[in-house]
């Protein structure tokens, strides 16, 4: 699908309602701004199912504090990943995507998930930074409280180069948006311009964390 080197048209972009955004592009902020129509469908509980109680506690402190608490949990080297978490997450993602046609669903740029979406013919928007923005993204991750480990994984020179190459690999069903330095997801994609997502498209999700935890990790 079409590649878009982002320009001042920004808010006029129309793109698939499944948005895969690189770390630090502002996925959570975008979903907070458009909370009536967008859900931040993160991987954290699927990746670490043995730590659901800690995750529940982290998300109970209100929007801003909740976001910072969750960021602090990401990349926790003391936590063991769940077996086949990619498959569990992908199944839940597809279920939500199909049951809630009125929702914009925002996800991370995990390579396996993107390949499976492409394989299954599901259109998605792939959003990532320009190559020159490495140090800016390092500062973004530091500011929001991510661990030193995540900083290394995503923004060390070699790691960044690998990510920039991976994100530019060809996908048949992806529409790409490259962010300029200083830009965020909310600067270039307006909820009103996302195709197939509208207030008339059916039921929506009121609280994303309650939805994910109660539906897929019931107590």
- Name the nearest CA neighbour of 41 among 17, 57, 60, 13: 17
From residue 139, give the alpha-carbon distance in Å to each of 6, 17, 64, 134, 199. 22, 28, 18, 9, 36
- Average pLDDT along the chain, 219 residues, taken 10 residues at a time: 44 76 95 89 94 88 60 74 95 96 94 98 97 97 88 96 96 96 93 59 81 93
> For residue 68, what pLDDT is reported?
62
pLDDT in tens, 112-131: 999 999 999 999 999 999 99
- Topology annotation, domain 3-216: Rossmann fold (3.40.50)
Distance CA 33, CA 18 (A): 17
How do the domains of the chain map onto residue ranges? 3-216
Question: Which pTM does this prediction carry?
Answer: 0.87
> Which segments of 59-184 does DSSP mark as H helices, in order?
63-73, 85-99, 111-119, 134-143, 148-155, 157-167
> For residue 3, what pLDDT is reported?
44
From residue 204, give the alpha-carbon distance in Å to each of 13, 15, 65, 89. 23, 19, 24, 19
């Amino acid at each position: 699908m079409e590649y878009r080197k982002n320009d001042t048209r920004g808010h006029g972009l129309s793109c698939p309602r499944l948005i895969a955004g690189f770390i630090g592009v502002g996925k959570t902020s975008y979903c907070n701004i458009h909370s009536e129509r967008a859900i931040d469908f993160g991987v954290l509980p699927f990746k670490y199912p043995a730590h659901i109680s800690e995750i529940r506690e982290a998300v109970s402190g209100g929007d801003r504090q909740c976001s910072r608490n969750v960021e602090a949990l990401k990349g926790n080297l003391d936590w063991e990943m769940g077996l086949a978490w990619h498959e569990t997450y992908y199944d839940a993602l597809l279920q939500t995507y199909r049951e809630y046609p009125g929702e914009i669903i925002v996800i991370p740029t995990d390579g396996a998930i993107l390949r499976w979406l492409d394989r299954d013919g599901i259109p998605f928007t792939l959003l990532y930074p320009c190559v020159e923005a490495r140090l800016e993204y390092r500062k973004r991750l530091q500011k929001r409280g991510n661990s030193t480990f995540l900083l290394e994984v995503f923004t060390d020179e070699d790691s960044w180069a690998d990510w920039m190459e991976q994100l530019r690999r060809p996908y048949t069903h992806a529409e790409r948006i490259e962010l300029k330095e200083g830009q965020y997801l909310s600067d270039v994609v307006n909820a009103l311009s996302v195709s197939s997502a509208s207030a008339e498209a059916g039921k929506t999700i009121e609280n994303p964390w309650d939805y994910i935890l109660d539906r897929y990790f019931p107590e």
